[in-house]
A and B are shown apart, each in its own frame.
Chain A
């Protein structure tokens, strides 16, 4: 069973700061997802990675398969980025569903 660890658990930063959230997993995977969850529960998929790096607007996600590690970066952070960011992985054929980290609670202060 894959173990997914995220750090930090909580992060408070000032508007404009560069944010990094880390995710480590214990077993080889076929894909890693970064998800955003706002208060109230809805989850939005930000990225799906199996290798390399992806960028969307101010968000950048990287993954190092050998080191079993991924990072989510937010450039020029804004209060609307405040949310819980969750890393989730799947391995094998995907029929094991996703294994989630506990999430990083990010607050961006104006």
Chain B
């Protein structure tokens, strides 16, 4: 039990649609990052939020966007869905002060997105 919950756990969308995935972190965890994991691959870094500001981004296009809220929850939004966006999306949070990844990470169970 990591204390990080993600919703929904599974969802199916069609190409061109938009999706919002949600992550609820432990209280006080002010750093959250999102990752995309295609089947059989390691996760890929999408972006990181620290105190509600994006402070790091991987090689993902602008149609991947996010928000972090004062209540330690966050969202990943993906517009204009493509077939290749089908993947497991994971969020991870860390302790206060761990704006850098020098502390333990707490992962959610992931949201599995299928784009048809």
Enumerate chain A interface residues (CB-CB to B < 8 A).
Answer: 4, 30-31, 33, 35, 40-45, 48, 50, 86, 88, 90, 93-103
Assess the B47–A48 pair: CB atoms within 8 A: no
Enumerate chain B interface residues (CB-CB to A < 8 A).
Answer: 2, 33, 35, 37, 41-48, 50, 55-56, 58, 88, 90, 92, 99-110, 112
Task: Find chain B residues with CB under 8 A from A100 CB.
Answer: 35, 42-44
Task: Find chain B residues with CB under 8 A from A95 CB.
Answer: 48, 50, 55-56, 99-100
Assess the A48–B44 pair: CB atoms within 8 A: no
Task: Find chain A residues with CB under 8 A from B88 CB.
Answer: 41
Tell me how far the C-beta of B78 lies from the nearest C-beta in chain A, rounded to whole angstroms: 17
Known A41-B112, A97-B58; contact A48-B33, beta-carbon cutoff 8 A = no
25 A-B residue pairings within 8 Å (CB atoms)? A30-B100, A30-B102, A33-B101, A33-B105, A35-B105, A40-B109, A41-B109, A42-B108, A43-B43, A43-B110, A48-B101, A94-B48, A94-B56, A94-B99, A94-B102, A95-B56, A95-B100, A96-B45, A97-B47, A98-B33, A98-B43, A98-B105, A99-B45, A100-B42, A100-B43
